[in-house]
Chains A and B, each alone.
Chain A
Amino acid sequence: MTNVLILFAEDRAAQGLAGAAEQLGGETRAILVDGDYQIEETLDALVDACRGADVILLANDTYSQEIAPRLAHRLGGACVGDGVGVARVDGRVRVTRQVYGGKAHAVVEVRRSPAVLWLRARSFSGGAAAASAAELSRDPGARSGRRSTRIVERNVSAQTHARLEDAQVIISGGRGIGGPEGFRDELEPLAKMLGAQMAASRAACDAGWVPPTWQVGQTGKKVAPELYVAVAITGASQHMAGISEARNIVAINIDPDAPIFKHARYGIVDDYRKVVPLLRERLTNLGNHEGKR
């Protein structure tokens, strides 16, 4: 009998992980890892809580990502991260994930037990198993006695009233925006009109035009909106890796050969400085028109 253990911090993630657990089969338990997260203490507590499980599932939040490989190591198991599919083949756990910056898919077979996997939780349809979750017990006596670290300050950036991962509409800007002004004066008003969240490519974040929490992609947020408007973004595979679950991608780019047009459903080849103001105007007109009906 296999034992699957789900470690989660928020319900949305737990549902996806429960869906993955169903695909793996076996008896499933869930533990809520919440509260005052301190890396080393949480890890110590988890090592005890995880004994007996042969598959341990975590989501793709920062904390899960940093915990998973260390937990695997302490339990004598192996970790695979960023999974979008799981299966059990001849008793062995297999994980599907993107590699080479999203340009290829690999199936990775785990050769140690337990298999500690962090998954893109939202890529799995929800399961039922997480209904009865236990809280992680933090028995201070269980500590490994290792030196610790302390999170002494937590800063939450301005745009977190709604999480990017949950956004239905996203307006995203790239290096071609040219500076923070373009984000502020052109994209933000458009986002406001549409009730959209703002996002960006790595290039725009590295330039310091927008905060790092806006980054979408392989090493940024994985989003799944109904509408993703990519403005002055090339569409490098590492960026696309973050929007593979987006329903409708719209590209606004001055270069007709930009790879983004290979992924977009709708596109405009032109300067965004021309397109975006016109688009706002048209959308306002459409809105007014509808209002009168």
Chain B
Amino acid sequence: MNIVVCMKQILDPEVPARDFRIDAARREAERGSASLVTNIFCENALETALQSGGNITALTYGPESAEDTLRKALAMKANAAAHVAGEGGHPLHVAQVLAAAIRKLGPFDLILTGRESGDWGAGQTGALLAEELGLPCVSFADKIEVMNDGGWQMADGKASDSSAIRHPPSAIRVRRQTDAGFETVEAQPPLVVTITNAEHNVPRIPKVRDVMMAHKQPLTRFTVDELGVAPADYYEIVELAIPQKETRCELLDVDGLAQRIAEITAAL
């Protein structure tokens, strides 16, 4: 089974609000002292792919620094990595770039993305990618099982020598989260799946030795021009601002708090 995992490098989203600044003219966050990290849902996606077992390619579209995201993916034990050099853009553009790269790198049985990125949080790229590729899509998944040789194979996290690598699966079963609980969705590959967080896809920490090895592995490199993707209109950010609202917190003792809670709930 061949899997591609789309991964995006972003400004560390957990930088505290007091250290967060924006460049209002360019309408984006200032880099400041924040580090660049891989979007958490992309790592959840890679973890999910590693558990379902297969030949995994990590794919990113971004500036030179985004190579770090691929090196980390290789350290987590992705098999290959590809870098499209260029600067982001709106989700349709990103989806078109990723689709073009996937056509060159593929064929793939599974195309995974995160549910959304932690910077702009568009939450669209996976869905648009499915449309660009003419594939079905399952969203907000947290677990993938593959049907091989007549049986469902549970993710076991050490599938690197399993039959899943050699044979394309005949069917894929996806567990996805809903507002009320979860659903099981069955599909035939190829398929796009967007991944959300769950207890069982918390990204693994790579071993030091694998981190070192990852730096020696070759990367496939493309440019947007080579992929032949033309710019398209979609949407523009016309304003960016930091909302100013801080509440004065009244610190209380337990008696005081019980009193307030009783008052608020009595009024309901």
Residues of A in contact with B (beta carbons under 8 Å apart): 39-40, 61-63, 65-66, 68-70, 73-74, 78-82, 94, 97-101, 103-112, 146-157, 160, 163, 168-169, 194-195, 202, 205-208, 211-213, 218-219, 221, 226-227, 229, 236-238, 248-251, 259, 261-269, 275, 278-279, 282-283, 286-287, 290
Contact = CB atoms under 8 A, between A and B. Distances in A.
Nearest to A251: B249
A32 B262 CA distance: 40
Given A106-B237, A108-B237, A169-B268, A266 B128 contact: no
Interface of B: 11, 13-14, 16-18, 20, 22, 27, 29, 41, 91-92, 115-116, 118-124, 127-128, 130-132, 134-140, 142, 177-188, 191, 194, 196-200, 202, 233-243, 246-247, 249-262, 264-268
A166 B188 CA distance: 37
A106 B240 contact: yes
Nearest to A95: B235
15 contacts: A69-B128, A70-B131, A78-B92, A100-B13, A146-B134, A147-B136, A147-B187, A154-B181, A156-B181, A202-B197, A208-B200, A212-B196, A218-B121, A219-B196, A266-B250
A268 B250 contact: no
A12 B225 CA distance: 47
Given A62-B177, A66-B139, A226-B268, A109 B128 contact: no
A240 B268 CA distance: 23
Contacts, number: 256
Contacts of A265: 247, 249-250
Contacts of A98: 121
Contact of B16 (A66, A68, A259): A259
Given A74-B131, A104-B20, A279-B258, A66 B137 contact: yes
A224 B122 CA distance: 23
Given A205-B197, A266-B252, 6 more contacts: A39-B185, A66-B137, A66-B139, A109-B235, A219-B197, A238-B13
Contacts of B236: 108-109, 111
A100 B119 contact: yes
Contacts of B178: 62-63, 154
Nearest to A270: B254
B257 A266 contact: yes
A110 B20 CA distance: 27
Given A101-B13, A169-B265, A218-B121, A213 B258 contact: no
A97 B135 CA distance: 29
B28 to A, nearest CB: 9
A100 B140 contact: no
A225 to B, nearest CB: 10
B128 A107 contact: no
Contacts of A70: 127-128, 130-131, 137
B130 to A, nearest CB: 7
Contact of B138 (A149, A169, A236): A149
A268 B251 contact: yes
Given A39-B138, A66-B127, A107 B238 contact: yes
A61 B252 CA distance: 37
